Amino acid sequence: MRRIIKIYLQKPELVALVLLFALIVLFQWQSGGIFLNANNMRGMLGLLPEVALVAIGVTLLMICGEFDLSVGSVFALMPMTMAVLMTQGWPFTLAVSAGFAVCALVGLINGMLTIRFVIPSFIVTLGMLFMARSLTVVISGGFPPRLQTAEIPTWLFVSFVGPGQLFRMSFLWFVLIAVLVWVLLAKTNFGNWVRATGGFLPAARATGIPTARVKIACFVICAMLAGFAGLLQSLRIGSVLPSMGEGLELQAVAAAVIGGTALTGGIGTILGGIIGATLIRVIDNGMVLSRIDSNWFKFAVGGLTILAVVGNAWLRKRGRDMKVET
Amino acid sequence: MTEDTIIAVRDLHKWYSGVHALKGVSLDFRRNEAVGLVGDNGAGKSTLINILSGLHQQDEGEIVIEGKPVRFNGPRDAMDAGIETIYQYNSMVPNMSIARNIFIGRELMKFSIRRFGWLDEDRMRRESVTAIADVDLHLRSPDAMVGELSGGQRQGVAIARAMHFRSKVMILDEPTNHLSVKETNKVIGFVRSLAEQGVTAIFISHNMHHVMACCDRVVAMALGKVVLDKRVSDTSIDEIHAVL
């Protein structure tokens, strides 16, 4: 029994899960039952995949011991690339592939620079944040291009489906990708390498893991997930804005951290990142429903981030200090 | 080089940004022999070990394993050749379980495509329990995090890992650093038992008493060269100190 309690106390996503549950109860009560009704759920679940997909990528990368600040810019660059190419007459499939190729390239450059020149990924991706955002504006020519929705199978990404039209297709994509990345991290040898690389780099190297390639792969996955999330948002709102995704990189990091991912690497779970992202969406939505001045949103996210980390550190220590036979 | 030479090192040179760290080292390591490698900091012990374990590559010279010249491009090559290294800083990831740590980089898989595949967690767990029991270590669960173990227990898991993969040569780089007296004695006893199991041990230590207690032969290095190479029974701590 003690062993089980010990294991659960050390689960990195525990605090976030408790907070999420508490907030849902609070908002449900505050809003007089509106929070969990179908209409509101529909709105929340429609927005969730966008932040959550970015958070999944950032969480994976942080477990690997690296960091990506450029996701917010890639979030805009991907759909912008696609939209601009489509106005040039490219068919959807080619344009969307080109968009993903750009994301992969950004991830590759982030990873290569970080590893080749042994500089913190924080710096590399900070530079990329500006560069990718600038590119987005440059290729758009300053004006958002018209998204040629007639040629895009938007139903595949944003149409409402499910019982009572409760969620959008984007939610199914999100669930599918979340499961895939979770499997990758928890069930495959690649996941083992990611965790070892972020957990203790010298040990990973000494056991012959190709740590550079593992990190670069995580950078690429992270950038591509950010791009896909951007695509989902642009299809949902039916337009590509050069400013979309601004500030998203920090929300994604906050989501990962709230979910128990450590900045130092090696610790964290995909589920934690998703719970963190859900918490951010719940706060955003719940505050509106509770008629709280929405300018408090960032304050709440910030407070939650600190609270979750402090809570996590405390619980982990309690768990570690708990005496069981090894 | 004789019949039972397992690793022969010939005229090895290594420069680190202008520093001549190894100046023509030649050594033979024989089967079932425990060799103590001693020397001051900067004597070239670690450089030699890093080359033998594939972390670094020599600039000149040759390594011959069981009669075949080899060149290691990474730790994996050395492992595949049967050389396992246990480092002083511990080659374990603290936030991963014992079972996962034992199989890092050499995961057991249910199925795989090229190098990637689905982990066989049950088998890894089962085999790590056996591997740990084989080195006389008593841990209740293979799911415990390595970070929760004591220094001695961690070293034990590292040794269990090396034994599990049936290494022919085990390099122990200062394995007794930061260990209690009791744990140190356990490691020394273990090094002594390696020969019976047909494993060559290369034991690096600052502590001459530890080396004399568990090795058959002692090699002393100073300033990138071998300055003494004798059987333990033919030398003394005083003689080794004199050449260093």
Q: Select from B74, B85, B109 the Cβ nearest to the Cβ of A189.
A: B109
State pLDDT tens for residues B200-212. 999 998 888 888 8
**pLDDT for residue B1:** 55
Question: Using the beta-carbon criterion (under 8 Å), do B109 and A209 form an inter-chain contact?
Answer: no
Q: Cβ contacts (< 8 Å) between B83 and chain A: which residues?
A: none
Determine how many CB atoms are found less than 10 A away from the CB of residue B216: 16
**pLDDT for residue B236:** 85
Spell out the SS3 assignment of chain A: CHHHHHHHHCCCCHHHHHHHHHHHHHHHHHCCCCCCCHHHHHHHHHHHHHHHHHHHHHHHHHHCCCCCCCHHHHHHHHHHHHHHHHHCCCCHHHHHHHHHHHHHHHHHHHHHHHHHCCCCHHHHHHHHHHHHHHHHHHHHCCCCCCCCHHHCCCHHHHCEECHHHCEEHHHHHHHHHHHHHHHHHHHEHHHHHHHHHHHCHHHHHHCCCCHHHHHHHHHHHHHHHHHHHHHHHHHHHCCCCCCCCCCHHHHHHHHHHHCCCCCCCCCCCHHHHHHHHHHHHHHHHHHHHCCCCHHHHHHHHHHHHHHHHHHHHHHHHHHHHCCCCC
Q: Cβ contacts (< 8 Å) between A195 and chain B: which residues?
A: 93, 95-96, 100
Q: Select from A199, A206, A326 the Cβ nearest to the Cβ of B75.
A: A206
Q: Select from B104, B109, B144 the Cβ nearest to the Cβ of A326.
A: B144
Residue B88 scores a pLDDT above 90? no
State pLDDT tens for residues A117-160. 999 999 999 999 999 999 999 999 878 888 888 888 888 888 88
Q: Cβ contacts (< 8 Å) between B118 and chain A: which residues?
A: 187-188
**pLDDT for residue A62:** 96
Is B120 within 8 Å of chain A by CB?
A: no
**pLDDT for residue B139:** 83
State pLDDT tens for residues A194-219. 999 999 999 998 888 999 999 999 99
Question: Using the beta-carbon criterion (under 8 Å), do A189 and B149 form an inter-chain contact?
Answer: no
**pLDDT for residue A325:** 59
Q: Cβ contacts (< 8 Å) between A200 and chain B: which residues?
A: 92-95
Closest-CA residue to A80 (of A196, A230, A184)? A230
Please report the beta strands in chain B, taking only residues with DSSP state E, as ranges in sequence order. 5-16, 19-30, 34-39, 60-65, 68-70, 83-86, 109-113, 116-119, 169-173, 200-204, 217-222, 225-231
**pLDDT for residue A95:** 96
Under the banding of pLDDT at 50, 70 and 90, the label for residue A317 is confident
**pLDDT for residue A13:** 83
Is B87 within 8 Å of chain A by CB?
A: yes
Min CA distance, B77 vs chain A (Å)? 8
Percent of chain A with pLDDT over 90: 63
Is B157 within 8 Å of chain A by CB?
A: no
Across chain A, mean pLDDT equals 91
Question: Using the beta-carbon criterion (under 8 Å), do B53 and A200 form an inter-chain contact?
Answer: no
Architecture of the domain delimited by A2-321: Orthogonal Bundle (1.10)
Min CA distance, B141 vs chain A (Å)? 7
Q: Which residues contact A68 (CB under 8 A, 6 or more apart)?
A: A57, A58, A61, A110, A121, A125, A219, A222, A223, A226, A249
Residues on A contacting B at a C-beta cutoff of 8 Å: 3, 10, 187-193, 195-196, 199-200, 202-209, 266-267, 320, 325-326
| Inter-chain contacts counted by CB atoms under 8 A, chains A and B | 88
Min CA distance, B51 vs chain A (Å)? 12
**pLDDT for residue A326:** 52
Provide ipTM, 2 decimals.
0.85
State pLDDT tens for residues A240-255. 999 999 999 999 999 9
**pLDDT for residue B44:** 87
Min CA distance, B30 vs chain A (Å)? 24
Domain ranges within chain A, ordered by starting residue: 2-321
Question: Using the beta-carbon criterion (under 8 Å), do A192 and B104 form an inter-chain contact?
Answer: yes
Min CA distance, A243 vs chain B (Å)? 39
Is B158 within 8 Å of chain A by CB?
A: no
